[in-house]
Every structure is written in structure tokens, then in C-alpha cells.
Chains A and B, each alone.
Chain A
Amino acid sequence: MAGVEAVALGSDDLRPALARLDGWLASLGASLAGARLSASSLREDSETSRHMAAVNAAVDACVSDWPRQREALRPAEALARCLDQTIVLLVFGKFNAGKSSLCNLMADRFAAHGAEVDYFQLDADGRLEPCDRFTEGATETTSRIQGVRLGKRLVLLDTPGLHSATGEHAALTRRFADCADAVLWLTSSSTPGQVQELDELAGELRRAKPLLPVITRSDRYEEDEIDGALVKLMRNKPMADRCGQEADVAERARDKLAALGLDVAQLRPPLSISVHMARAEGESPAAMAAAGVDRLYSALRALVSPAQAYRRRKPAEVRLRHLDETLLGGLLALLWPALDRLNGLLDDAAGQLDRRGAQMQEDLWRAVVPLLPDLLDADALARDADAVCRELSQALDSAFRMAADVHLSAYRLAPHAPGRAISPGDTGFEDVVVAMDGRRQSTCVDATRLHAALERQIRDEVLQSVDAALAQCAASIHDLKDGAARLAAVLETHLHALNGIRAALRAGGQESEQPARPAGTRAGGMRP
């Protein structure tokens, strides 16, 4: 205990790091504002447009929430300042892991040695309120974050069910957990080392905080029937059982840290303890040693130095985590999937263009060519090829609009270019002339050549108008893909920059380099 009390607590000069974090945030805001997506040639009601709008809305929602999120960080910062001169241990574990019992035992031991012991609860603003010693029980007893200060240099922070809390409460709990410099993971000896609990701790562990697994309740009742009654006696679990459990927990915790992409060097050797047995025999030194308390003390002493590394840069780490997990994390969690969906839609749309165009051309042909015979019949007597062409042009126009509504409904197409209508050119209705009584006379009107010429023109017009429309569609898809890639690049650049700031911060603290966290990068999907 004296060893902990004697620790000198200095701090790094964090002003440069904090200034870099401020600059990073300003740059992110400006870059996002400059990377809004737009697509004027897509109809607003198209699926692609809706997804594009969703991406913009996600950015807006995130950015407009930044001031509120910054405010929400204040209590955690207040707590960090308040606990500035102590080493804070996060006591983590399920409701039945014996967190309160262990904290109470530690408090009693410190008090027995003359240290000042203060129990406290946190209010919503991160202020400390004095309270009674912790309630011990088999069910969840409190939803408040509580702690106990042990002497001048040590604080135990008990976060009720970090993994069972939900919503706003969970966010609050996680934020206060920022103040912890090391983590005690309490796991009951009845089912020791349920490593899926460590998923909830991943955020803490990524801060390069040391992790000490403590196998609690390492005791068992022995019973006998004596003179017709059941007699119970509690004993420490035998050393062999404890060693077996410790080795098993160590192995699985190591696997789990590796699976989370974390440095297994953060893991301290697990130890077993029975608070119940430590309290036996009036907390005699022998009882304490047999229960595993001495081993806990030395493990805690060994924890001080690595915990110090985090404590020295804590204000910057709290800010960094806020920017990283809350701001950027929130943005990425919304935007990566939204951008992936958008890009997927755009790829699908681009892939469908040829098929849609071909079908549209067939539809136009099928709609317009059947009109030709009756138009020719109607204007044959007047030999008015221009009238046929006018009506054909109108028919083509309206058929084009209808087919575009069916096949290219997502796009807003530029109006038909003028002067591209059907025209007879130098063909027209032809009189069949026969010489009769010395005079050449027209006997009837032949439309064969005019029909062939017009059919060719319809064909050319159908092919060209649809190809032109497809080119417009392809260009708008391409533009939007470019925009999405620019937005993705903004995110990637800032993610990278933040990793750089983190690396510099940790290197400045003479701590071993933490690898860039893999969770910040994306699991598969598009990469611009």
C-alpha cells in the first residue's frame, strides 16, 4: 500500500496534441461541407437520389450533433480533472462477479492501515457525491457509477454492468470509463473467463490500458451430514484448481485480445481470490494470504507503472477518444454503409443501362413503325411527305417520353435536341406516270421508296436518341460516383490523420507503440 502512496504523478505537456486535435476537427468539418453530393440529372424520387440524399442527411445529422456531443463530454473531463492526482482502476465484470465485495474489502484494508477512504457516486455532471459502502448482492444492486478513493493515490471505479447498460446510460458509462488508467476484469470462479465480456472492454483496451483478470469467489462450501443436520464449511479452492483456472483464463483472454486485434502484452497474469475467505479469522494475515489478497496487492503494485503511462496523457486521450469513437466513429458507422449502398446502386444502374437502352429502342420501334402505313395512306393523295414526317416526329417524341418513363425513370433527361426530327429529304411520294394518248399521265401514287427511307430514318433516330439519352445517364452516374469517392477520401484522409496524431501522442509518452487500430478501417467493402 505504501508503494502506491509514494508514486509521483507528473503529466506530459499536452497542449500541442490538443491543438492538433482541434485543427483536425476544423479540417473535417470544412472538408465535409465541401464534399456534399449532388446529381442534377437524377430525379429526386429515384432510389439513387434518395440514397444520395440519405448520405448528405447523415453527414448533416452528425455534424449538427457535434456541439451537443462536445457538451456531453464535459462531465467526463470534469471527472478526469477531479481525479487528476490518482491512479484510477476500472472494476469491470458481470453483476455476480463480486465487484462490490472486492471494493469493500480493499477499502477496509486501506482504512485498517490508516489511509483515508471515501466512497462516492457520480452525478450526471461527473461530480462526486459521498455515499455509503457498496451493497453486496447476487443481483444487480445499483445503476449509478460508484467508486471509492483509497488513500491519496488510488481510486476504484465500479461501473455497473458496462455490458448490460443500454442507450444514453451506456454512453455515459463508457465516457466515464475514459478516466480509468487500468482495468480489473472480475470473473467468477464458477464460470471463469467468459471472454465475450471483453468485447465491451475493447474501447478501453485500445487505449493501451493494462488488463488484470481477477478470478473472484475462488472458494467452495464443503458439507457433511453430522448428527442428522447439514454442516457447511467454506474453504479456499485448492491451489491446483486455482492454477488450472488461471491458466485457462490467461489462454482464452490472450486468444480474445488477439481476435480483437489488440496487443496481448497488455494482459497481466490472472489471479484468484476469495473475499469471503479473506474476511475469515478477523482478516488475519494468514487468511489474507491464503485467500489470494497478497497476490492481488503485488499485482496492483505491478500495474502502477503501465497505468501511469495512460494517466500522463489522459486529457488528450479523452479528447482523442471523443473525436475518434464518438465523432468520426459515428460518421463512419453511418457513412461507410450508406456510401457502399450508394456505390452498389450506381454500379447496378450503370450495369443495367445497356439492357435498358436496348429494350427502350425495341419499344420505340414497335410503337412507331406500325403507324407508318396509315400515315402514308392518309397523305398519299395530297402527296404530302412533309405531313407524314411531322406526324412521325410527334409520334416518335411521345413514344420516346413514354419509353423513357418506363426504362430510364430514374433520370432527368435533357429535352430532345431540335432539328433532329424526321424529314423526307429528297425522297417523297412518287407518281406512277404512263404515256396515254400521247400524254404522260399520272395513274397512281407509289410510297415504296418513301416508306423505305422513313423506316431507315426511324431506325437511325431511335438508335441515336436512345444512345444520346444513355450517354447522359452514364455521365450522371459517373459524376455521382466521383462525388462519393471524394467524400470517402475525406473520411479516409481524416481517419489516417487521426491515427497519426494518436501514434505521436503515445510515442511522446514513452509508451510502446500501439498499432493503428484495425476497427477504424472498414471490414471489406469499397475503398476509394
Chain B
Amino acid sequence: MPEDSSLRQPATRAHPARWRDVLYVLPQREGDLARLDELAVADAPVVTVIGKYNHGKSRLLNELIRRDAFAVADRRQTVHLAECRHAGVRWLDAPGLDADVAGEDDRHALRAVWLASDIRLFVHAAREGELDAVERALLEALRADSRRTRRETLIVVTQADQMEDDDALGRVMSAIADQVPGAGLLVVSSTRHRRGLEDGKTLLIQRSGIPELERALADALARVPAARAHEARLLLGEMRAELETVRRAEAETLSSLRQQQAAQRHVFDDGLETLLAAIGRDMEVVVALAGPDLALVADTGRERYATTAAKLERAHIQVAYSRACIHLDGFLAGHGVSGLPREQQTAAGSLNTVMVAVMGVSVKFRADLHRMFCEAPGRARLQAAFAHYFELSRSRAALRDRITESSVALDAADRALAALPPDTAP
């Protein structure tokens, strides 16, 4: 991209349907995509003339195509993009830079320069002396683009006839050469060329600089097909690389989120299994200690003892079950399964709705507890039921949402990559 990327923003949008998937991921590449569209349909090479208004752009074009196709006057004239075909070339006359207050002309000009042109003729009137800040900035951007895309920019100093003498012209040329080191400068006079042709005066034609410009232009035009192929390859290659970077980053995010998801579940499952095993062992003891088999107690004491033993058994069982519930409740809170209850609860001890849902509210007898905690299928049922609620918890749902988002983004990057044509066919 050139330094000032705003210069690349075209006035029209890239082909919406063709590039929808790419634009979705790389909206900032709209200018490049529009240029690819342009390259795909371009036939004749496009030469655009750019520069400040009244620097003789239209006049120069008229000389190059040997007829008065473009309007000229001694004031700002070209306010819309004008174009003309001649000798197998599309010639574009961009509106002058800085011509109007709102900058509308500049936008037309920049669209012509960035989107449609293969070769730019950067025009500057000799009489204006050295380049000003706006011209230098634009020229810098154009030359940077030339290095990147191989679209050539020829710097044409116009209106050579309006200089007092060759010395004065030479001073201006060397001042400009100092401003754009390494660039070749062409000097022309459209007026001399016209006059020379009309009156058959060879010195005027020779001193018009137009023949040299035409030779330089012919050379540059011959290089256009190779430059276009290079540019298409370059743009596609850059975008492919950018998409692959996006895709890689998205894939990494997704994989790390999934790892996090699995790890959280693993910690939950392990912790719950350990806790249920511990509860199972404690419960085993309680169930075993709950009391002797009533058949072994003597008849006389039977009734009284049975009552007492039953009471003792119920007490122990009740306390053990309560303790199991307290530990499960703590574990679930620690894993975010039962969040902070926001509404004031009225019924005592029913803060934890997940506990109620999984364990029920019925009174548990010895056999129930044995089945629930001391036998593998019972523990497995609890494990599965709590895991179900774990997955319903807010933090797990948030993590799932992030995973969905990330995989949507990954799919978008994949679709965008698939939508880019192979490097050879833009």
C-alpha cells in the first residue's frame, strides 16, 4: 500500500457480489479489489493525465491524440473525468487538483489515477517553478505505487514556451530534479507542437518535446501487459497472505478456546468424581454402622430397641446425607454451576435449585443412599446429571458463544480464501 492509503480509496465500490466474502474479512482492501475488477475487464492500456488545474493537461492530451477531444481554456476547465480512445489507448483527463472548495474534483482525479490507470502523466507547468507540497505528496505516493505495482509515472513539465529562455527553464528543471531525485523529467510545449504542425515548422515540433514524450510513452505502453500481470499477481498474493494470517490467528484462537473448554470440563469431572467417591466411602460407613440387624435382638427388648435403633439410624443417615449435600453444594458453587441467587429466597435451604433438581426433595432411606452413592451406576447418574447443569451454567455458555464466534470468523476466512482466484487469473 502507498503511504497515504486514503489516496487509494476509489469513488466506486468493488464488485459487491464477486468479492463479498473477501470484503467481509478485508474491508480495507476494497480499493485493491476494485483495481482487480478493473484489470479483469481492461483491454486497452489506460493513460491518465494528472496535475493541478490550468497546468495544460487537456492541451497535452489533445497533442498526443492529434485532435481537440478535450476542452481547453485559460482557467479551470475539466471538472469531470473525460476520456477518449486513440491508437489503442484509453486517454483519461483527470480534473485538476485543488480546483474546487469541496474537493469533489480531487476525488474524481484520484479515482482516475488509482483505479483506472496503467500509466500516469504527472503534469506540472514550468512557470510555476518548483513543486509545491500537494504535488510532492501526490508524486511521492505515485512513485511508491510504481515501485510496488510497476504502474509507471512520467513527470512531464509543460508550457516550456512560457519560460523566458533556456536558462530560466534549466533553473526550474534542476529545482524540480532536486525535489524528486532519480526521476526522469520530460519537458514539453503543447503550443509549439500545435504551431509546428499547423505551419509545418520543424524546429517548433522538435523543440516541443512531444516526440520524446511519445517515445517514452511508447516504451512504457509496451511494458503495460507485463506490469498488469505483475500487479494482479501482487494484489492477489498480498491479499492471500493477509487472509492466511487472519485465518491462522483465528484458528489459534479457536483451538485455544476449545482447549480451555475441554480443560474446564476435565477439572469439573475429576473433582466431582473424587468428591462422589469420598461421599460414597463415608456413606458406606454410615450405612454399615446404622445398626444391627433387628432379627438378632431379643424379643423382650425388641420393640423398645427397634424404636431406638431406627431413630439412631435415621439420625445418622439424615446427617450423612445432609453433609453430602453440603459438600456437593460447595463444589457446584465453586464451578459456577449454582450462581449467586439474586432473588430473595423464602424457603430455607432451597438456595440451590440445581441440588433440588438432581437430588429431589424426598426423604432418603438407607437403600436409597446406598444406591446413590455407594454403587457405581448411582454415582455415574449423579455425575452425568451435574455435568448437564454445569454445561448450562452462565460461564460455560459464554465460552460456547465465544467458540461459535471464533468458528464463524474462521469459516469467513476460509470462504474469503476460496473466493480469491488463483494467482494467474485475476
Binding site for B on A (CB under 8 A): 94-96, 138-139, 164, 188-192, 194-196, 217, 220-221, 223-225, 228-230, 232, 237, 241, 244-245, 248, 252, 255-256, 259, 361-362, 364-366, 369-374, 376-377, 432, 434-436, 443-449, 451-453, 455-456, 459, 462-463
Contact = CB atoms under 8 A, between A and B. Distances in A.
B124 to A, nearest CB: 10
Interface string B361-376: 0000000000000000
12 contacts: A95-B129, A191-B54, A191-B125, A194-B98, A361-B340, A366-B333, A372-B329, A377-B323, A432-B315, A444-B319, A456-B345, A459-B341
B322 A196 contact: no
Nearest to B73: A244
Most buried by B among A196, A225, A456: A225
A84 to B, nearest CB: 36
Contact of A139 (B96, B130, B159, B349): B130
Given A230-B207, A244-B75, A366-B336, A225 B326 contact: no
Nearest to A194: B98
A424 to B, nearest CB: 15
Minimum-distance CB pairs A-B, first 3 = A370-B334, A369-B333, A138-B129
Given A223-B161, A362-B336, A459-B340, A447 B330 contact: no
B351 A191 contact: no
Contacts of A223: 161, 191-192, 195, 204
A190 B333 contact: no
Interface stretch (B107-115, B139-147, B167-175, B255-263): B167-175
Contact of A225 (B101, B130, B201, B318): B201
B175 A139 contact: yes
A245 B75 contact: yes
Interface in B193-225: 195-196, 199, 201, 203-204, 207
Given A191-B54, A443-B315, A444-B319, 13 more contacts: A189-B74, A190-B125, A194-B52, A225-B196, A225-B204, A230-B203, A365-B339, A366-B335, A372-B329, A373-B329, A432-B315, A445-B319, A456-B345
B101 A195 contact: yes
B54 A434 contact: no
Interface string B79-107: 00000000000000000101011000000
Contact of B327 (A164, A232, A373): A373
Contact of B162 (A95, A220, A371, A434): A220
A215 to B, nearest CB: 10
A14 to B, nearest CB: 36
Interface in B382-400: 394
Given A244-B73, A369-B330, A191 B336 contact: no
Given A230-B204, A245-B75, A164 B133 contact: yes
Contact of B132 (A94, A230, A452, A455): A94
A396 to B, nearest CB: 13
Interface string B119-156: 00000010111101100000000000000000000000
A255 B101 contact: yes
B129 A139 contact: yes
B334 A369 contact: yes
Most buried by B among A365, A445, A462: A365
A230 to B, nearest CB: 6
B268 interface: no
A449 B325 CA distance: 12
A463 B322 CA distance: 26
Contact of A444 (B308, B316, B329): B316
Given A223-B192, A444-B316, A462 B340 contact: yes
Contacts of A220: 162
Nearest to A365: B340
B335 to A, nearest CB: 8
Contact of B98 (A96, A196, A370, A452): A196
Given A191-B125, A245-B74, A248-B76, A138 B204 contact: no
Given A138-B129, A191-B53, A446 B322 contact: yes
Given A369-B330, A446-B319, A221 B348 contact: no
A362 B334 CA distance: 10
A259 B55 CA distance: 26
Contact of A221 (B52, B100, B132, B162): B162
A432 B318 contact: yes
Contacts of A369: 329-330, 333-334
B130 A138 contact: yes
A446 B323 CA distance: 8
Interface in B301-323: 308, 311-312, 315-316, 318-319, 322-323
Given A190-B127, A223-B204, A370 B330 contact: yes
Given A139-B130, A370-B333, A459-B341, A452 B312 contact: no
B75 A192 contact: yes
A237 B349 CA distance: 101
A252 B101 contact: yes
A225 B330 contact: no
B70 interface: no
Given A190-B125, A196-B98, A445-B319, A241 B326 contact: no
A252 B96 CA distance: 14
Contacts of B327: 373
A365 B395 CA distance: 14
B340 A370 contact: no
A217 B351 contact: no
B333 A248 contact: no
B7 to A, nearest CB: 17
A245 B74 CA distance: 7
Contacts of B162: 190, 220-221
B19 interface: no
Given A139-B130, A223-B192, A447 B340 contact: no
Contacts of B326: 372-373, 376, 447-448, 451
A12 to B, nearest CB: 36
A138 B172 contact: yes
Contacts of B195: 223-225
Contacts of A443: 312, 315-316
A371 B333 CA distance: 10
Nearest to B101: A255
A325 B5 CA distance: 33
A432 B165 CA distance: 120
A248 B339 contact: no
Nearest to B52: A191
Nearest to A243: B75
A330 B201 CA distance: 63
B128 A188 contact: yes
Given A362-B336, A366-B334, A443-B315, A237 B129 contact: no
A96 B133 contact: no
A111 B318 CA distance: 121
Given A190-B54, A369-B334, A444 B315 contact: yes
Contacts of A376: 326
Most buried by A among B163, B164, B192, B329: B329
Nearest to B54: A191
Contacts of A372: 326, 329-330
A350 B326 CA distance: 38
A225 B407 CA distance: 76
Interface string B339-359: 111100100110100000000
Nearest to A380: B323
